[in-house]
Amino acid sequence: MPLPSRPPAHYRKVDLMQYGFGQVQGPVLDTGPGTILYIEDLTVSFDGFKALNGLTLYVDDGELRCLIGPNGAGKTTLMDVITGKTRPQRGTAYFGHNIDLLSLSEPEIATAGIGRKFQRPTVFEHLWLALHANKAVWPTLVARLGNEARERIDEVLATIGLSSVRERRAGALAHGQKQWLEIGMLLMQAPRLLLLDEPVAGMTHQEIEHTVALLRSLAGRHTIIVVDHDMEFVRSIGRRVTVLHEGRVLAEGKMQDVQQNPKVIEVYLGDAAGGDPGRAHALHP
């Protein structure tokens, strides 16, 4: 379906059209010179404790960005602000030039093109998986779908590497496959920005490698922010890394530079002294 008229050059249509999913309601995302996320001076306080403390962060359109940092650094809180779950006391958060995330509700933010995979699956996802585990609803579902939707499902199945298990009950999938299925569920909504909170937790080495390949293949088509403290995972992704500490950016750059940064080393070593001896070795293999 062609667009009725060509939008101004600096306006880009949200990707849904290319997937045959019709038009999105709400403002059209304007990514301007290639930055898709503008986070400036964000502060979030919980009873006086600053989970985010003047955080500023920019993410390019199509980028695959890793966000690391010790426990309590504010990684999940940042995702909560981007998705509208938590409101900051100070600062701004823009999706493209024109979408003020702080003025939108959670559903409006999702509609605008931001999808999130939680650290732990949501209750909804558990129920969704349970539904598919109990009976073979797939054939009935597929029969009701139009060609476009079916093609879209085939495309997502191929992307997440689950084409060969498409007839299998979701509840019977391996842990890693369930995680990819969850990513696939997000992809069905064709998000411009994907937020993944610790997607490889509990995965085998091989599953982690597969996830690295998956995320790399999604970059470009989507912008991805992946939060993790698995250094091996972040290292093998091999893209720009942002280190958060005490609610602000401590360092940013290539992994090999970030892990040499004295401030970063100190934070990780200091944290290890505080009770997690594994972390002291986390920065270097």
Q: Say if residues 251 and 265 touch (Cβ distance below 8 Å).
A: no
Q: With binding defined as CB under 6 A, does residue 46 bind ligand ADP?
A: yes
- For Mg ion, give the closer residue by CB, 76 or 83: 76
Smallest separation (angstroms) from ligand ADP to the CB of 174: 26
Smallest separation (angstroms) from ligand ADP to the CB of 150: 38
- DSSP track, 150-190: HHHHHHHHHHHT-GGGTTS-GGGS-HHHHHHHHHHHHHTT-
Q: With binding defined as CB under 6 A, does residue 250 bind ligand ADP?
A: no
Q: How many residues does the chain have?
A: 285
Candidate list 37, 39, 69, 113; residue touching ligand ADP; CB under 6 A: 69
Q: Which does 51 bind (CB under 5 to 8 A by kind): Mg ion, ligand ADP, none?
A: ligand ADP
Binning the chain into helix, strand and coil, the percentages to the nearest 5 are 40, 20, 35
Q: Which stretch binds ligand ADP (CB under 6 A): 24-32, 75-83, 126-134, 199-207?
A: 75-83
What six digits make up the tokens of 134?
């109990």
Structure-token match 């080495």, residue found: 205
Candidate list 24, 74, 156, 200; residue touching ligand ADP; CB under 6 A: 74
- Among the listed residues 53, 52, 56, 67, the one whose alpha carbon sits nearest the alpha carbon of residue 92: 56
- DSSP track, 225-257: EEE---HHHHHHH-S-EEEEETTEEEEEE-HHH
- For ligand ADP, give the closer residue by CB, 29 or 52: 52
Smallest separation (angstroms) from ligand ADP to the CB of 271: 11
Structure-token match 């986390």, residue found: 282
Q: Say if residues 240 and 232 touch (Cβ distance below 8 Å).
A: no
Q: With binding defined as CB under 6 A, does residue 76 bind ligand ADP?
A: yes
Q: With binding defined as CB under 6 A, does residue 231 bind ligand ADP?
A: no
Q: With binding defined as CB under 6 A, does residue 72 bind ligand ADP?
A: yes
Q: Say if residues 221 and 63 touch (Cβ distance below 8 Å).
A: no
DSSP 219: B
Q: Which stretch binds ligand ADP (CB under 6 A): 66-74, 109-117, 235-243, 258-266?
A: 66-74
Q: With binding defined as CB under 6 A, does residue 54 bind ligand ADP?
A: no
Site for ligand ADP, rule CB under 6 A = 46, 51, 69, 71-77
